[in-house]
């Protein structure tokens, strides 16, 4: 029998930062961030690493993520973190925004490290999902955060782990999997729209549908459980017959 974790849906939300736009022209991976989802809920398990690209950092890329060549030189090369990355993602579906970009860089690094490249079929592209849901509009990650009310105020620069966290929230919104709040802010509020709905009281109480005979039959049934039965805490005692006044 499969364990609960084996039976659960496991997905990995992934984001990367790079030295540029094209791995075929010498651009390299410099950061990977991954968030694990179990049954569409963040599990708290993450994978994050900076990567030494073994090259300089163009100014255009530095302005995007703020990672300098000097800083990255103190971190491991991709070949040294490849096994940890592959072990973390396992065979789970990968969720990425503009997935062809991330997949291209990851596969270039995996190939360079002598590892098996990832197949395109296991990747879900949230940019494609967003374009289907919101055609004709801008669907950058920041735009989607604003559209869904996801707080991205910490995103002053791109960062792989932070962007993966934001993307996880956006992904759940895109597929309609975010859990609805069960707490109503006020009585009579509509959980779906947040608007107050009119609450009307009954003009007359409902007619009792239980007869006195049925009540007595129920009390007799409860009595068969004994005096210690918990039912006795909730059953009204039978009304006592009125007694004649003393003369």
Could you tell me the two tokens for 245? 């006044």
- As a whole number of Å, the end-to-end CA separation of the chain is 80
SS (H, E, C) 72-111: HCCCCEHHHHHHHHHHHHCCCCEEECCHHHHHHHHHHHHH
Residue in 48, 65, 97, 158 annotated catalytic: 158
Q: Helix (H, G, I), strand (E, B), or coil: what is residue 27? A: coil
Q: For the beta carbon of residue 190, count every other beta carbon within 10 angstroms.
A: 10
Closest CA to 110 of 90, 74, 85, 93: 85
Contact (Cβ atoms closer than 8 angstroms) between residue 30 and residue 17: yes
Residue 158 falls in the annotated catalytic set: yes
Q: Cα-Cα-Cα-Cα dihedral of 119, 173, 17, 103, to 10°? A: 10
Closest CA to 31 of 11, 46, 9, 41: 46
Rg (CA), the chain: 30
Burial class (CB in 10 A: 0-12, 13-18, 19+), 76: middle
Catalytic residues: 158
């Amino acid at each position: 029998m499969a364990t609960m974790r084996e039976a659960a849906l496991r997905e990995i939300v992934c984001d990367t930062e790079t030295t540029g736009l094209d791995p075929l022209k010498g651009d390299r991976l410099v950061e990977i961030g991954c968030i694990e989802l179990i049954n569409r809920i963040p599990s708290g398990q993450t994978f994050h690493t900076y990567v030494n690209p073994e090259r300089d950092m163009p100014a255009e890329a530095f302005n995007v993520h703020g990672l300098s060549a000097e800083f990255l030189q103190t971190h491991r090369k991709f070949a040294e973190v490849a096994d940890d990355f592959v072990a973390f993602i396992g065979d789970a579906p990968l969720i990425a925004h503009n997935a062809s970009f991330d997949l291209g860089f990851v596969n270039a690094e995996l190939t360079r490290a002598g590892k098996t490249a990832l197949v395109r079929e296991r990747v879900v592209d949230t940019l494609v999902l967003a374009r289907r849901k919101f055609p004709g509009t801008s669907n950058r990650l920041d735009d989607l955060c604003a559209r869904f009310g996801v707080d991205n105020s910490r995103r002053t620069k791109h960062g792989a782990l932070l962007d993966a966290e934001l993307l996880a929230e956006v992904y759940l919104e895109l597929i309609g999997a975010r859990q609805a709040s069960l707490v109503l802010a006020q009585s009579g509020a509509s959980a779906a729209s947040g608007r107050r709905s009119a609450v009307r009281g009954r003009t007359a109480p409902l007619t009792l549908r239980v007869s006195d005979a049925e009540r007595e039959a129920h009390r007799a049934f409860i009595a068969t459980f004994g005096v210690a039965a918990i039912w006795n805490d909730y059953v009204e005692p039978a009304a006592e017959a009125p007694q004649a006044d003393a003369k």
